[in-house]
Amino acid sequence: MGEKGEAFVTLTTNDAYVLGSLVLAESLRRVGTKRRLVVMITNEISETLKHNLHTVFDDVHVVDLLSSEDFKNLQLLGRPDLHVTFTKLHCWNLTQYSKCVFLDADTLVIQNVDDMFEREEFSAAPDSGWPDCFNSGVFVFKPNVDTYKSLLQFAATQGTFDGGDQGLLNRYFNTWPTNDIKTHLPFTYNVVSRPFYSYPSGLKAFKQNIKIVHFIGADKPWQHPYNYSSGVVTPLPDSRHDAEFLQYWWNIFIDSVQPTLNPSAEGLIGRLAALSVDNPVDSSIMPLEEIQNLDVKLKKNCEEGR
C-alpha cells in the first residue's frame, strides 16, 4: 500500500470543534502533506459547516455519536458520558485506509509530519502530565474492525481510568511504555501549548523543532478574544496557552477559514463570520448557555440510544 492508503484523521462532534478541524486541515495543507485528510463527524454538525468540511477534507465520514450497541455497554458501565470517547474509537473502522494518523481537532501542525507513517500501530508521544502514559491526541494506528470491537469490549469490562479515551487506550495498548521505543513519538509531535514548571526553558530551546502543537484543556483557541483591526489574539486571563501558538492558530483561521464561514449561521459561527474592519472586536467566546445547550443535546441523544 502506498501513500493513497494513508490518511490523517480527525474528529468533530459539534460546530465549535469544526473550527479546530478546519484550521488543522489547512495547517496540514500548508506543510505540503501528501496524505489524504479525513474528518469523522456526527449528525450534530450544521449543514453549512458540513459544506465547509467537504471543501477542505478529502473524505467526510459520518459516524454515530453513540450506536445502540455501544450504548448498552455504556449503560452497563454506568458511564453514558463516555459517548465522545467512543466516537473517537470509530477511527479503527476506516478500513479503506491501511494506516492513519489520528489528530485531535485542537491540534495544529507546524511542520510536515508525513514521516509519522513510517511508524507502526500503536505509536504516540508521552503525555506531559504523566509521561509513562501516551497522550491520545496524536497517534499512529491501523484501521481494523476487530480492533474496534475489541476496544469496545475492553471498555465495557475495564472502563477507562480518566473518563476519556486516553485512559482507555493506555490500558488497551499497555505495552507502549516498555516494549518498543520506536512506538514513542518525539514530544515535538504533540507539544502541549501550556508552558509550566520546567517547560519554558525547553520550549525556548526546542521551539524550532516543534511539529505539532496541542491546545489541551477546557479553553480552545477559538474561544479567545481576537481583534480584527490589530490582528492580535489576547489569551484569556485564566488561560496558560502560549500566546505565539494561539496567534499562529488565529492567523490561519483568519486567512483561510473565517472568510469561508456563512455569516447567516447562528451563534458562535455567525459571530466569527461577521468579524470585519467595520466590526473588528471579537465576540467569539461561546456564551455559557450555548455550551450547556450542547451538553443537553448530547445527553438527550444518549438517552435515546443514538
271 binds, options ligand UDP, Mn ion, none, Cβ within 5 to 8 A by partner type? none
Task: List Cβ neighbours of 169 (8 Å cut-off, separation of 6 or more).
Answer: 122, 134, 136, 139, 151
Q: Name the residue among 45, 48, 49 with its Cα closest to residue 62.
A: 45
131 binds, options ligand UDP, Mn ion, none, Cβ within 5 to 8 A by partner type? none
Q: Least Å distance between CB 85 and ligand UDP?
A: 8
Alpha-carbon distance of 11 to 103, in angstroms, equals 8
The packing angle between helices 68-77 and 145-158, to 10°, is 20
285 binds, options ligand UDP, Mn ion, none, Cβ within 5 to 8 A by partner type? none
217 binds, options ligand UDP, Mn ion, none, Cβ within 5 to 8 A by partner type? ligand UDP
The 10 Å CB-count burial string (b at 16+, else e) for 224-237 is bebebeeeebebee
φ, ψ at 12 (rounded to 5°): -145, 125
Binding site for ligand UDP (CB under 6 A): 10-14, 17, 84, 88, 104-106, 137, 216-217
Q: Name the residue among 65, 61, 49 with its Cα closest to residue 262.
A: 49
12 binds, options ligand UDP, Mn ion, none, Cβ within 5 to 8 A by partner type? ligand UDP
Is the backbone of residue 236 left (phi > 0), alpha (psi -120 to 50) or beta? beta
Q: Least Å distance between CB 137 and ligand UDP?
A: 5
Q: Least Å distance between CB 43 and ligand UDP?
A: 13
Q: Least Å distance between CB 223 and ligand UDP?
A: 12
Q: In the bound complex, which residue of the shown chain has the CB atom lying closest to ligand UDP?
A: 104
Nearer to ligand UDP, 48 or 227 (CB): 48
Q: Least Å distance between CB 213 and ligand UDP?
A: 12
Alpha-carbon distance of 69 to 152, in angstroms, equals 9
Nearer to ligand UDP, 17 or 122 (CB): 17
